[in-house]
């Protein structure tokens, strides 16, 4: 019960934050919550199932363009566009997984990276439709849901919070379920899991599809809430960022993705105001993490002090 209460307290605290923050900082917090959903999806694949992927930018872009293009070309509103974005991420994750999961370890990482690069080049090739590097802005009519205009501060924040809250609680339910424990068993010892009668390929594929649904939802929400879709979101940077969020916050912890996304966002925001070489500070933070907290912040806290953290 205290595990669920901890997660509900976080959601309540984020809801209260909108009344305390300026519109600029509230918008940044909404952005962090969407990126945290992105990181949650990555965490289910990497942190709980052991699938080290460098292809999640492809799934993020799939959700973004499925929502963005359906809004721009078909004139859909935010609700149907979001659903298409979620399905886009999940279906593409299934297609990639059916091929990539025939490999493992470093080979899996390289194959997923190749798929992501192919997706990025495809977006550039069809630039007349996708907008290429310049991208495109979503029409104002598509950025509304149930009569609320998502281009305004409060509805945008509440929509981001609703997505984050649903994703967080669903993630907790998944990892505490028998399926979630099977994911962890496969991460720890795939051969022993196979000997016990489980099908590692099917479970890893299911985990990857669930991860794709999360990432597709994040990509679609990013486009709809902030009104822009572009090829830059399909670059290798957006495959590395969720990995950094998860490693910093704690891989295999449900709250780690949010903590990592918030801290990394704040670090990049502060460092980019000081120098154009802000990635130096990101690298320094990761070196310190590897040296002093290799399991991430919450992973280290769970290991040393709070054993019940999920």
Mean pLDDT of the chain: 95
Band of pLDDT at residue 273, cut at 50, 70 and 90 = confident
C-alpha dist (Å) from residue 310 to 171, 177, 204, 294, 301? 10, 12, 20, 17, 11
**What pLDDT was estimated at residue 64?**
98
pLDDT at 287 exceeding the cut of 90: no
- 96 lies in some domain: yes
Band of pLDDT at residue 18, cut at 50, 70 and 90 = very high
The neighbour count for residue 98, using CB atoms within 10 Å, is 12
**What pLDDT was estimated at residue 202?**
97
Q: 141-180 pLDDT, tens per residue?
A: 889 988 889 999 999 999 999 999 999 999 999 999 999 9
- 279 lies in some domain: no
Calculate mean pLDDT across residues 244-264. Answer: 97
- 34 lies in some domain: yes
The answer to whether 295 and 247 are in contact (CB under 8 A) is no
- 256 lies in some domain: no
Calculate mean pLDDT across residues 90-109. Answer: 96
pLDDT at 281 exceeding the cut of 90: no
- CA-closest candidate to residue 246, choices 25, 45, 5: 45
- 128 lies in some domain: yes
The answer to whether 81 and 142 are in contact (CB under 8 A) is yes
- 275 lies in some domain: no
- 269 lies in some domain: no
Angle between helices 178-188 and 153-175 (to 10 degrees): 70
Containing structural domain, residue 106: 2-235
Total domains present in the chain? 1
Band of pLDDT at residue 45, cut at 50, 70 and 90 = very high
- 120 lies in some domain: yes
**What pLDDT was estimated at residue 277?**
81
**What pLDDT was estimated at residue 276?**
83
């Amino acid at each position: 019960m205290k595990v669920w209460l901890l997660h509900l307290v976080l959601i309540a605290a984020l809801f209260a934050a909108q009344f305390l923050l300026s519109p600029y900082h509230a918008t940044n917090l909404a952005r962090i919550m969407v990126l945290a959903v992105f990181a949650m999806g990555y965490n289910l694949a990497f942190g709980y199932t052991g699938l080290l992927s460098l292809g999640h930018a492809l799934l993020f872009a799939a959700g973004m363009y499925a929502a963005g293009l359906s809004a721009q070309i078909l004139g859909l509103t935010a609700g149907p566009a979001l659903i298409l974005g979620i399905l886009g991420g999940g279906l593409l994750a299934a297609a990639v997984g059916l091929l990539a999961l025939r490999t493992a370890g470093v080979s899996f990482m390289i194959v997923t990276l190749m798929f992501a690069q192919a997706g990025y080049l495809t977006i550039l090739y069809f630039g007349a439709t996708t907008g290429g590097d310049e991208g495109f802005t979503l029409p104002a009519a598509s950025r509304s849901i149930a009569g609320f205009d998502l281009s305004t501060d409060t509805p945008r924040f509440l929509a981001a919070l609703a997505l984050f809250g649903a994703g967080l609680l669903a993630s907790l339910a998944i990892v505490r379920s028998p399926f979630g424990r099977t994911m962890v068993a496969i991460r720890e010892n795939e051969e022993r899991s196979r000997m016990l009668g489980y099908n590692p390929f099917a479970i890893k594929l299911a985990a990857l599809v669930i991860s794709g649904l999360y990432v597709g939802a994040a990509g679609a929400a990013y486009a709809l809430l902030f009104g822009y879709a572009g090829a830059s979101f399909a670059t290798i940077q957006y495959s590395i960022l969720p990995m950094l969020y998860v490693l910093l916050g704690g891989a295999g912890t449900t709250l780690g993705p949010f903590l990592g996304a918030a801290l990394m966002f704040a670090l990049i925001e502060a460092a980019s105001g000081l120098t154009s070489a802000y990635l130096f500070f990101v690298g320094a933070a990761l070196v310190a993490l590897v040296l002093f907290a290799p399991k991430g912040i919450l992973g280290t806290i769970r290991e040393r002090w709070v054993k019940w953290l999920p």
